[in-house]
Structure 1
Amino acid sequence: MLKSSRERILERIRTGLAGTRPFLEAEATRAPHTPPPFVHPITHDDLAHQFAAELTKLQGYPHLCNDDESALEAIAGIIDRHEAREVITWDLAAINLPGLDEMLRQRGITRLDGQIAGEGEQRTALLQAHERAPVCISGVDAAIAESATLALHSGGGRARMASLLAPVFIAVVRRKQLVRGLGEAIERIKQNYSDVFRDASALTLITGPSRTADIELTLTLGVHGPREIHVVLIG
């Protein structure tokens, strides 16, 4: 019985894989599996200033705040500029910024938790309700200074919507959450969560505003995520 073109192609692939598998497995075993703690050289003596410099290059907005009070003022200013009446946030305990709830309440701002449950019309209605919010706010698990990347471990009370859906994203970062490179960030997250994805839907890495380029290399911000990134770095 003659074999189809598809069967002949698959057979050649299987034969090729069988011949190279021992070599590939040996190489995989021999290769290091621990990422380096960092890649780029230090450009600033202080990680906060390095993060701020890299974020500015990406057209993001760093806010270096000495304390919680000045951080709340920075967030309030961003919310007021965008005339937000609704914001999507993580659970406030997970953001860990005392006074945030009171500041939102004083401005008459409704807080949405970013949790989209249900199916069909119920899910559609929840999405439409969240899409009205112009600002989202979350904490982070690590902030990588050499690339101005934010690492967010999502899960219960830490909805992905709070960093991806609204056109303006505010990340609240403590100085102790700053790390130099990606490898260091991954190690820290592994230490904080024995199984990174046991109760999480994703580990999200955010480096600047959403960028999309078409075939003519015309760059547009905010097509597939926030077009404006603010990082409020406390301490």
Structure 2
Amino acid sequence: MKGEILNRDRFLTNIRSKIGGLSADQPVEKPVWTVSPQKKVLRDFTKDQLVGILEAQCDQIHTDFFQTTSQQLVKVLDDVLKKYEAKSIIYSNDSRYKEYRLDEYLHTADDDRKTFKWDQHDRDSSVSFAEKADVGITFSDVTLAESGTIVLFNGEGQGRSVSLLPKDYIAIVPKSTIVPRMTQATQYIHEMVEKGEDIASCINFITGPSNSADIEMNLVVGVHGPIRAAYIIVQDK
């Protein structure tokens, strides 16, 4: 049964009057801050320095860290998959796999390994495979050095299940995506909105493997997501 809203205008008018005499035809003006300290943190760091910050943070968040070139990416990824003993792999539907020649590698016939590319037209099959997969692989869209956070724009080709449901997770991080902290990520998203660009309805922020310390402050890894995580930093520019 569809609900009915009663006295909506009177209620909102009362709220506006209590917080400063605002009216429906007078939009709230964004304040102009005299200082913005959040923009100064790590502001002058080079990309290489940010990689160093990210590597140190990965040690704190129990995340394996690797660096490589685009030419050696296939080998490094193969080494990580062997380390994780991956027999089933799901990966996002992203043009960067072809750009880095990973599509060919992941499709190479291997009797001991099953791979599945996320299919936005068959979500049920994609989620079903992700639930049982050993490893999920995605590219990072924005990477926060300060917190060791991967930002994923979960559009049609990049279902959330790829990074959430498999036993382990691997993020491929183009070096150009690394920024100092959350400040730059939110600014980037804000600029996309201001330009009227299409953005994913869901944006995920992933900081290493699943963690919880809710019970007696004892850290447990892998409670509600991947048990292990690896970031592979790729020199792309």
TM-score in terms of structure 2 length:
0.74
Give 3-state SS (helix, strand or coil) of 1:22's partner: coil
CA distance in 2, matches of 1:208, 1:29: 34
Report the Cα offset of residue 28 of structure 1.
7.7
The 8 Å contact of residues 137 and 163 in structure 1, kept in 2 or not, is answered as yes
Candidates 97, 110, 114, aligned match of 1:110: 114
1:75 maps to which residue? 77
The 8 Å contact of residues 88 and 114 in structure 1, kept in 2 or not, is answered as yes
Structure 2, unaligned runs of 5 or more: 1-10
CA distance in 2, matches of 1:74, 1:39: 32
Give 3-state SS (helix, strand or coil) of 2:20's partner: helix
- Matches for 1:122-137 after TM superposition, within 5 Å: 123=124, 127-137=127-137
CA distance in 1, matches of 2:59, 2:81: 20
1:37 maps to which residue? 39
CA distance in 2, matches of 1:211, 1:48: 23
2:173 maps to which residue? 173
Residue 98 of structure 1 pairs with residue 96 of structure 2: no
For structure 1, which segment, 56-65 or 210-219, has the greater mean C-alpha deviation from structure 2 after superposition?
210-219
Residue 64 of structure 1 pairs with residue 67 of structure 2: yes
The 8 Å contact of residues 104 and 110 in structure 1, kept in 2 or not, is answered as no
1:22 maps to which residue? 20
CA distance in 2, matches of 1:82, 1:138: 16
Structure 1, unaligned runs of 5 or more: 1-12
Report the Cα offset of residue 134 of structure 1.
0.7
Candidates 49, 53, 62, aligned match of 1:50: 53
2:159 maps to which residue? 159
Report the Cα offset of residue 185 of structure 1.
1.9
Report the Cα offset of residue 97 of structure 1.
4.9
Aligned residues: 216
CA distance in 2, matches of 1:227, 1:42: 34
1:205 maps to which residue? 205
Report the Cα offset of residue 165 of structure 1.
1.4
Query: Which amino acid is the alignment partner of residue 46 of structure 1?
Result: Q
Report the Cα offset of residue 95 of structure 1.
4.3
User: Structure 2 vs 1, CA of residues 113 and 128 (structure 1 numbering), >3 Å: closer, same or farther?
Assistant: same
Residue-by-residue CA offset, 1:200-228 (whole Å, 9 max, x unaligned): 23111111211112332222111122121
CA distance in 1, matches of 2:90, 2:37: 34
CA distance in 1, matches of 2:116, 2:233: 23
User: Structure 2 vs 1, CA of residues 72 and 27 (structure 1 numbering), >3 Å: closer, same or farther?
Assistant: same
CA distance in 2, matches of 1:183, 1:36: 7
CA distance in 1, matches of 2:138, 2:72: 17
Residue-by-residue CA offset, 1:8-52 (whole Å, 9 max, x unaligned): xxxxx99x95774328999984365x8933546889961111111
Structure with greater helix percent? 1
Report the Cα offset of residue 180 of structure 1.
1.0
CA distance in 1, matches of 2:58, 2:22: 39
User: Structure 2 vs 1, CA of residues 170 and 217 (structure 1 numbering), >3 Å: closer, same or farther?
Assistant: same
The 8 Å contact of residues 151 and 204 in structure 1, kept in 2 or not, is answered as yes
1:7 maps to which residue? none
The 8 Å contact of residues 144 and 180 in structure 2, kept in 1 or not, is answered as yes
CA distance in 2, matches of 1:206, 1:229: 10
Give the percent of matched residue pairs that are identical in Structure 1 and Structure 2.
24
CA distance in 1, matches of 2:121, 2:64: 32
